Structures are given as structure tokens and as C-alpha cells.
Amino acid sequence: MLSSEANVLREGVKAELFRGHSAVVLLLDFILNCQDMITVDSEGRVIVWKYTRSVLIMMMMMMTMMMMVVMMMMIIMITMIMITSDYDYDL
């Protein structure tokens, strides 16, 4: 169920709060060609959330940006390992 309460991450940043899982959420994904989001928790509970298209687009953009940040961090870490390593990499 979507919470009707106002949720704020910090001043001026509103958030949506989804209530339904009591265990750790392991997966969050979107059902293609649909306005539904699906979550699965560590106890195997699956919840399909009805959601609007505009919010789904925003969430997908945020997930894409987070994935790009993680990829950049991995590239930086690998580069640092290569720089500090004594091994001669032939690239």
C-alpha cells in the first residue's frame, strides 16, 4: 500500500513510502509495458505496486543514474588498483 503520509528525506525533498514488506527487500523492478512495479523480499513475498507512468519514468531515471555512479566508482577502483599494483598491464 502506498502511504498517504507526507514523507520528507530532507528539507524540500519529498519521498514516497511503500509499506508492505516486513523482511529485507531483495529486488525492485518494473513490469514492461505496464505501470506496475514489483518487489520481492527475503521471505519470498512478492508485491505488485500500481503506479503512475510519470513517477515510474522518474524512478527509472534515478536508477539509471545510480547505476552509472556505481560503474564510475568501479572504474576508479580498478584504475587505482592498477596504478598501485606492481604488475605490468599491457593495455
Instruction: Inform me whether the pLDDT recorded for 4 exceeds 70.
Output: no
Give the range of the structural domain holding residue 49, as residue numbers without chain letter. Answer: 22-84
Domain count, the chain: 1
pTM, two decimals, is: 0.44
Note whether residue 67 is domain-resident: yes
> Does residue 15 fall inside a structural domain?
no
- Decide if 31 is inside a domain: yes
76 backbone dihedrals φ, ψ, rounded to 5° = -65, -45
3 part of a folded domain: no
Query: How far, in Å, CA of 41 to CA of 68, rounded?
Result: 25
What whole-number distance in Å separates Cα of residue 70 and Cα of residue 55? 23
Residue 26 falls within a domain, yes or no?
A: yes
Domain annotation covers residue 63: yes
Please report whether residue 35 resides in a domain: yes
Express each pLDDT in 44-68 by its tens digit.
999 988 776 666 677 777 778 888 9
Q: What is the pLDDT of residues 10-20, one digit of tens each?
A: 777 766 667 78
